[in-house]
Amino acid sequence: MNKAIYFLIFVLIYSCNNNSKSQLNHSSAKKYLHLSHTRTNKNPKMDSVIETIDYTKYDMLWLGGDLAKSTSISRNAITHVDSIFNLGSTNTLWSLGNHDYRNLSLVKEHTNRLPYYSYHKNGITFLVLDTQDSLSNIVGKQMQLVRKVVDTLKHSSHLLILHHKLIWMYNNPELESRVKKTSNGKIGDCFHCINPNNFYSDIYPLLLKTKQKGIEVICIGGDIGYKTKEFEYVTPEGVYFLASGIKFNHNSENKGLVFEHDILTKKLKWDFVLLPML
């Protein structure tokens, strides 16, 4: 066999190996998008940019609630929201807000899920919480679910908790004073408020237990947008509190929270990105 044939075989093998590596790297790179407070004051329309984003570019869509003025008030309203976000997809995770809560039967009909649930994908375990139930307190069967997930968590690189209200701001010496400049809802007893709750007495110890297993913990709230477009805080123990949300028709300022995930290296990074850039 002459040198030209040897060289051709070498080039073909090298090309095949590189293509295989490229395909492997591409398949291990995932992108996720978190959006919330997308509602306008005219049901069921959402922010104009939100309704035109190409969501097929993202492997998962995480919704932080308050999608429309009254998302589940009618079949027409939730069908419109569904036409944008594909609520029934297993890749769409939705933590309900007060503006989504009118008819939970319609919500379940479109999502095939309860208002709270767990999910696992790409090495990440998700807990989607219902912070409207029991006025911001995680109790009853929902609390049982949290305990069960934490107790059985072994093979995940991350525990990611999606919720609407910023329940971790209440009773936190550093964060509570920042509620007025951060959260859409104030601290109080109303349905949309950050109510006195059991996050630090019952939930946070379980998150620290998860951290001790070597699993990263990220909590993502959705009730911001009016006063700020992004929020990030890490506790002394290394638990991340994030929040993203928008104010409709403020498109030069509004941001979505974009995550890039390398499944092979188990690295998850994020950034707040202007809506027109999504």
Domain with residue 103: its CATH number is 3.60.21.10
State the pairing for strand pair 158-162/240-244. unpaired
Is the per-residue pLDDT at 272 higher than 80? yes
DSSP helix/strand/coil, 231:
strand
Assigned domain for 156 exists = yes
Ranges 18-27, 71-80, 189-198, 264-273: which has the least confidence: 18-27
pLDDT digits (tens, 9 = 90+) for 203-217: 999 999 999 999 999
Assigned domain for 7 exists = no
Assigned domain for 3 exists = no
Average pLDDT for 184-190 = 97
Is the per-residue pLDDT at 16 higher than 70? no
Name the strands in the sheet holding 60-63, side by side, starting at the edge strand that comes first in the sequence: 92-94, 60-63, 29-35, 255-262, 267-274
Is the per-residue pLDDT at 135 higher than 70? yes
Instruction: Pick the closest to residue 198 from 151, 140, 116, 243 (CA basis).
Output: 140
Task: Look up the domain containing 225 and give its range.
Answer: 27-277
Query: For residue 114, what pLDDT is reported?
Result: 97
State how many domains the chain has: 1
Band (27; pLDDT cuts 50, 70, 90): confident
Assigned domain for 15 exists = no
**Residue 71 in contact with residue 44, Cβ under 8 Å?**
yes
Is the per-residue pLDDT at 14 higher than 60? no
Assigned domain for 268 exists = yes
Give first-to-last CA distance, the chain, whole Å.
54
Assigned domain for 33 exists = yes
